Amino acid sequence: MSSRRRIVVTGMGCLSPIGIGVETFWQSLLQGKNGVGRITSFDASELTSQIAAEIHDFNPDDFMHKKDSKRMDRVLQFAVAAARLALTDSGLTVTDENSERIGVSIGSGIGGMATFEIQHRNLIEGGPRKVSPFFIPMMIPNMCSGQVSLTFGIKGPSFSVASACATGVNGIAQAMDVLLTGRADVMLAGGSESAICNVAMAGFCAMRAMSTRNDAPEKASRPFDKERDGFVMGEGAGVLVLETLEHAQARGAKIYAEMAGYGCTNDAFHITNPDGKGAARAMQIAMGDAGLQPEDVDYINAHATSTPVGDPMETQAIHEVFGAHKLAVSSTKSMIGHTLGATGALETICCVLAVQNDVVPPTINYEFPDPECLIDCVPNLARRLTVRAALNNSFGFGGHNAVVVVKKFSSN
């Protein structure tokens, strides 16, 4: 670790069901605010799951020109908005002189699914001439990075990772690689998702992956709880400004924390894997990359989606890696639902703030302990805790496992 470039976080921006902007998001997490409710964006009455964590107060005109936003799916609008917030927070201005040394790695698990649904309906009802010429660039996931690069004039490495629910963390990890290899000095990294629409919800309902607690949506997302019955769809975006330490110090940037390492594996077993071995290996690789031992880690922001199979798997993996070492493990999905490709980015922001502020957010809706999930999940109330290092776990359909390590920054 000491012989390679160090990577630090100098800016963050986010949109979530419990607040727009990092400070609002963070305070809402610490207060245990719940963003889940009945779906309002379309008629979900025929779905088995009629609940989601929607963002109700987003106005794209606050972040971009109206003519531009009209040519973007909501997922792209989210990405641009989160990137603008992150750049503002970092104090970094993109100029002709530095634009080629700044890059973008913002992914999406699904892309512009709502646009796909609308344009497919146009095709069926009106024929090919009714399909918008903006259909493809509004839908494809790479346009999260593409539109951010276009909006801010960023000319360095630009790409998007798509690895389902691991997208956000893998996007950050790939951005770290770009910085480590010297191909850029700054990377905007993260994920965006807005898939609360009929076709996406219907697909997940058909898989029987979603909670059907329609009569009590505020209780539906309950990671590690014995009464959990599936995940709740959320939407949002998170973008972090990552810089080499040398570049950040040269421009006098504030530094939130250090991105110390990452691990990426695949189960190569099934689209989901109940034994957790790939997840455990990803955590071990990430800690090894960061030069940390299990006892050096104080907090894990768990993937824990509130599914019957996934939560015990992750619990098992954590026990395998950490053994008798006691650490706090919480799931912010209890409050914001599962934001798919954005989840790893939002949860990395959470880890950065936990490390910076020495407090960890709770897992809300925890009422009934599950013998298969015996873990300190920080039930229902935030906790003051010295956090020297934190892991963010993200595991995606397809067997993708991704883990990043966030560490307290020290100039030494």
* Same fold for the pair 7-250 and 261-407: yes
Transcribe 242-292 into DSSP letters.
Answer: EEEHHHHHHTT----EEEEEEEEEE--S-SS-SS-HHHHHHHHHHHHHHT-
Q: Express each pLDDT in 277-303 by its tens digit.
A: 999 999 999 999 999 999 999 999 999
The SS3 of residue 14 is strand
Q: How far apart are CA 383 and CA 378, in angstroms?
A: 7
What is the pLDDT, as a whole number, of residue 336? 98
Question: Is 165 designated active site?
Answer: yes
Q: Are strands 19-20 and 51-52 parallel, antiparallel or unpaired?
A: unpaired
pLDDT tens, position by position, 60-69: 999 999 999 9
Q: What is the pLDDT of residue 143?
A: 97
Q: How confident is the model at residue 268 (pLDDT cuts 50, 70, 90)?
A: confident
- Tokens matching residue 44: 């979900």
pTM comes to 0.96
The CATH number fitting domain 7-250, selected from 3.40.50.300, 3.40.30.10, 3.20.10.10, 3.40.47.10? 3.40.47.10
338 is catalytic: yes
Q: List the catalytic residue out of 144, 205, 264, 338.
A: 338
At residue 1 the predicted structure's pLDDT band, cuts being 50, 70 and 90, is very low
273 pLDDT above the threshold of 60: no
Locate the domains of the chain by residue range: 7-250, 261-407
pLDDT tens for each residue of 72-131: 999 999 999 999 999 999 999 999 999 999 999 999 999 999 999 999 999 999 999 999
Separation of alpha carbons 28 and 33, rounded Å = 5
Residue 3: pLDDT above 90? no
pLDDT digits (tens, 9 = 90+) for 240-262: 999 999 999 999 999 999 999 99
The answer to whether 71 touches 134, Cβ cutoff 8 Å, is yes
**How do 158-159 and 236-244 pair as beta strands?**
unpaired
Third-level CATH fold of 261-407 = Peroxisomal Thiolase; Chain A, domain 1 (3.40.47)
Catalytic residue among 303, 350, 351, 373: 303
The answer on pLDDT for 347 being more than 80 is yes
Q: Considering 14, 144, 165, 377, which one is annotated as catalytic?
A: 165
pLDDT at 272 over 60: no
